[in-house]
Structure 1
């Protein structure tokens, strides 16, 4: 039997410094997510310069999600052992390397290298699995939904990337943009190392990684939440990475205009995530998740009808973002409530990986089902609707039963 590590002790009131540490975790998560999404916002540029097909473009946009997803499994388990400070510092600094490799691949005009280095770029997407156990250890159970939701707002790094990356390329050039982002990653890594501390209630779990992952994989809650997060966060990632291409193909927007509208989508989801966590603390995650999934199913059908720009189309995408954001906050409130304390990092890693994988396949499906003659992605959107309905039914089922491995109340 493994010796459990305590992610948090009994509630003793607000821990001094928890706001600063939450802020630093949010900063690191945001900048690494910016780097993780650096290909999507300028994917149209790669398509034009390399004469890529819709499927090829979908591949280079979706490839960073692979490592960003699978890597979270190991990252979560390592966070249980080494703590958030070491892990945030290390992965933020390391993420600068693939950003520079993408720069090189783009400069030499190699599709193969873009795929290869895009795979490595996925490292930047693993930091999410650090933040959930790190933040959990700083906050008492009644505040964890809001706190983890606020940390999760760092997924707004994709919004920053969508908005600023195309503009930086236009203003400073392709090479300078990637160098600036790489330097920013290194600067944030230094700031995190100097200013961040692990919670005094956190203690390292020094068990081997594979047994910890195996223990987390045996928990029913792990796979229940993995499926639901694959739908909610996966939907967000898919839209955030593929929306610039979608807006260009369906509505004819240019690179900068499409990036600005994608940023608006991501910002709406970012705002909704901590709101989803807070509401889940108040009303229960199952209720909020049901609202999220039902709303996403409806909006997928609405978007498939190609509502006219600007007002109707914009409102439709913002509504979709709000529903998906609420769902991402609700899922990890459920994780915080039900996962055993010693396994939070490992469970988070697996659930987070599922969310990333959930964002990997939709862009490929969208590219494969695109109707060029009708300029329509209706088939892919209707598949999203069906998936959301299935997840909604599953959520209602979970809400009506108590899982046998539910964590004891704090």
Structure 2
């Protein structure tokens, strides 16, 4: 009876842990996407170009790209629970700097503060993934990982939906610390919940140079990295530029366009867990079919969006594209771990995370340059089609990481 009660208690705290991590990533995502939700205001008040404005959206990803690998190796060796409140505090400091810099029109300082916040963001992201993977059995890890990171697109939706409205109360620079405070609050709840859940701890032995070289030289690891870069590039092209496209193309207000585009990341709340569930349960832990469906579906729907002539049709297709694009997000982090020694799992997650942040940073900037060069926003759809085709080709060439095959 004691064992049954203990098991039930563990199950409850597992649920609480996933829920707290989900809400934590929700507020992190809302903070990250805030400049995209307010892009016309940001460009006007700071007198900057589309490319510079898009870069502001992506500055946290730049920080993640720079610090990702060494931080990932470090997190692989320590109890990550203690890093959560510290990382959240770093993000809060950065978001406060955003407020001060934006209020004073200091673009350089705003870039620097976004970079600082990105360091905290990366630690919170990797920690949530590691907690999900170490809390559940191998047959449920892809599902658990996909569930907890679905808080991130919910945060994008909250940012698109809430940032313009909060900005009417506190001014657009004040939106940043509002989400920063929320991140710190949820980090404390996550810290408490993680301490109540028994987890499988990875080795704390230092990563050797030979072990790291083995990971880096694995071509299957690189295939997942490429898939991750392209998948996140597709995701961020739509997230960062569709509010502005809808406003300019259909003449609706920024708040209305933000509401429409909020649906794109919002569907990730169920699309990401469904992708993990399909792979774990229906496809017997195979990952490639989900990757392929994601890229093919997103490519077809990007073409359909190009030919959309009404806002209702465009939004409907955009929502469906959000489902397809996000089916694979979550599987990326599980798949890359299956190609490496379990002792390097944290490092593998960090590599995939760095790849995702790199795609998230580069794609909006490239899209901004394309818009600035051509003067038309429909070029965004051509760019999205190119990303989707490249992703499909990569998946066709990559190996299967699931249980039914032996990783090469």
TM-score, normalised with respect to structure 1 = 0.87
Tell me how far 1:407 sits from its aligned partner: 5.9
Question: Which segment drifts farther, 314-323 or 51-60?
Answer: 51-60
SS at match of 1:392: helix
Change (3 A) 1:251 1:75: farther
SS at match of 2:139: helix
Change (3 A) 1:79 1:199: farther
Tell me how far 1:402 sits from its aligned partner: 9.6
Tell whether 2:298 aligns with 1:296: yes
Change (3 A) 1:50 1:340: same
Question: Which segment drifts farther, 28-37 or 102-111?
Answer: 28-37
1:105-144 Cα shifts (integer Å, max 9, x gaps): 1110122222222222322431322222221111111111
How far, CA to CA, are the matches of 2:208 and 2:90 in structure 1? 21
1:84-116 Cα shifts (integer Å, max 9, x gaps): 312323212221011001101111012222222
SS at match of 1:328: coil
CA contact (8 A) 2:303 2:385 kept: yes
1:273-298 Cα shifts (integer Å, max 9, x gaps): 11111111121211111111111111
Matching of residues 1-150 of structure 1 within 5 Å: 16=11, 17-126=13-122, 127-150=124-147
Count of residue pairs brought into register by the alignment: 394
Gap runs ≥5 in structure 2: 1-6
CA contact (8 A) 1:244 1:255 kept: yes
Matching of residues 2-401 of structure 1 within 5 Å: 16=11, 17-126=13-122, 127-155=124-152, 156-174=154-172, 176-197=174-195, 199-207=198-206, 213-281=212-280, 282-283=282-283, 284-305=286-307, 307-370=308-371, 375-378=376-379, 380-399=380-399
Tell me how far 1:213 sits from its aligned partner: 4.7
How far, CA to CA, are the matches of 2:208 and 2:162 in structure 1? 38
How far, CA to CA, are the matches of 2:35 and 2:259 in structure 1? 15
CA contact (8 A) 1:62 1:241 kept: no
How far, CA to CA, are the matches of 1:213 and 1:164 in structure 2? 42
How far, CA to CA, are the matches of 1:309 and 1:79 in structure 2? 48
Change (3 A) 1:84 1:401: closer
How far, CA to CA, are the matches of 2:222 and 2:126 in structure 1? 16
How far, CA to CA, are the matches of 1:211 and 1:71 in structure 2? 21
Runs of 4 or more above 6 Å deviation: 209-212, 371-374, 400-403
How far, CA to CA, are the matches of 2:51 and 2:293 in structure 1? 33
Tell me how far 1:210 sits from its aligned partner: 7.1
CA contact (8 A) 2:98 2:113 kept: yes
CA contact (8 A) 1:166 1:255 kept: yes
Tell me how far 1:215 sits from its aligned partner: 4.6
CA RMSD of aligned residues (A): 2.9
Change (3 A) 1:177 1:235: same
CA contact (8 A) 1:136 1:336 kept: no
2:3 maps to what in 1?
none
Gap runs ≥5 in structure 1: 1-11
1:152-185 Cα shifts (integer Å, max 9, x gaps): 1021211111111111111343455334323222
How far, CA to CA, are the matches of 2:30 and 2:135 in structure 1? 25
Tell me how far 1:204 sits from its aligned partner: 4.7
How far, CA to CA, are the matches of 2:172 and 2:372 in structure 1? 31
SS at match of 2:309: coil
1:370-403 Cα shifts (integer Å, max 9, x gaps): 278874332x422331232222122122247999
